[in-house]
Amino acid sequence: STVLLFSSILLMLKNNLNNEINESFTSMIIMSALLLKSGAAPFHFWFPNMMEGLTWMNALMLMTWQKIAPLMLISYLNIKYLLLISVILSVVIGAIGGLNQTSLRKLMAFSSINHLGWMLSSLMISESIWLIYFFFYSFLSFVLTFMFNIFKLFHLNQLFSWFVNSKILKFTLFMNFLSLGGLPPFLGFLPKWLVIQQLTLCNQYFLLTLMMMSTLITLFFYLRICYSAFMMNYFENNWIMKMNMISNNTNMYLIMTFFSIFGLFMISLFYFMF
């Protein structure tokens, strides 16, 4: 915050100092501070560790609400080469960093860094696409964190042994994982589809290839989790503990999951009808 305020003051005083201050350098410092605030790579080091110590609702705010102001200010600066470097590093680090994680909060943190790379790339081409991407990402993150918060889930091994007596909840939970990863035909694929289309029209093929490869890596560890939960013989307790399920919360989660899984079908249907 100090760097951001100091560089902003330098930029305001530029005209009074007979142009002795390099405006592009000052703008680059401002943008670096904003990338640090949003948690984008290579300024991401604080983000996973901070997520690990938060409750799920606070973690959701850090992943979604706290990114709005920095990203809006970044859209006004729009320094192409710095944005491009941050996009490439964010998608790569967000994908590789989540491979060996067993903590759900750190997994969501690295997933957020990867999605932030997609959001920054959409900022380079269209602010409306960024808003659409941010809305869908916030919705899918809310669905997952809402479920984690209900059952107090913080580690991967809890996912395998917790839903022994409720296969529907386990199935919907992992489908939401795949939707957040952007696997078609789930709702999470729609914003990625829009960004891919716009980057193709702008001839950004190298950047698009890196982003799609990183998404395949994130889908790999999501699919690995789902495969382990459904296809392999994992440890189950010989006793079944009663889960304290609040019916209203569970119904709300299932409704949101329905939109997460079948949202793309519904949007496509409305598009062709109207």
Contacts (Cβ under 8 Å, ≥6 apart) of 185: 264, 265
* Neighbour-count burial of 227, counting CB atoms closer than 10 A to its CB (0-12 exposed, 13-18 middle, 19+ buried): exposed
Res. 167 pLDDT band, cuts 50 70 90: confident
The gap from C-alpha 197 to its chain's centroid, in whole angstroms, comes to 19
* Neighbour-count burial of 179, counting CB atoms closer than 10 A to its CB (0-12 exposed, 13-18 middle, 19+ buried): buried
Tokens of 271: 């598009």
pLDDT at res. 234: 55
- 114: closest CA among 141, 139, 132? 141
Model confidence over 172-197: pLDDT tens digits? 888 998 999 999 889 999 999 999 99
Instruction: Quote the pTM value.
Output: 0.90
Model confidence over 79-138: pLDDT tens digits? 888 999 999 999 999 999 988 888 999 999 999 999 999 999 999 888 899 999 999 999
Instruction: Kindly state the helix (H) or strand (E) to which residue 183 belongs, with its residue range.
Output: none
pLDDT at 256 over 60: yes
The answer to whether 86 and 37 are in contact (CB under 8 A) is: no
Mean per-residue pLDDT, 209-238: 79
pLDDT at 161 over 80: no
What single-letter DSSP state applies at residue 43?
A: S
Q: Rounded distance, CA 101 to CA 150, Å?
A: 22
Tokens of 132: 């659409």
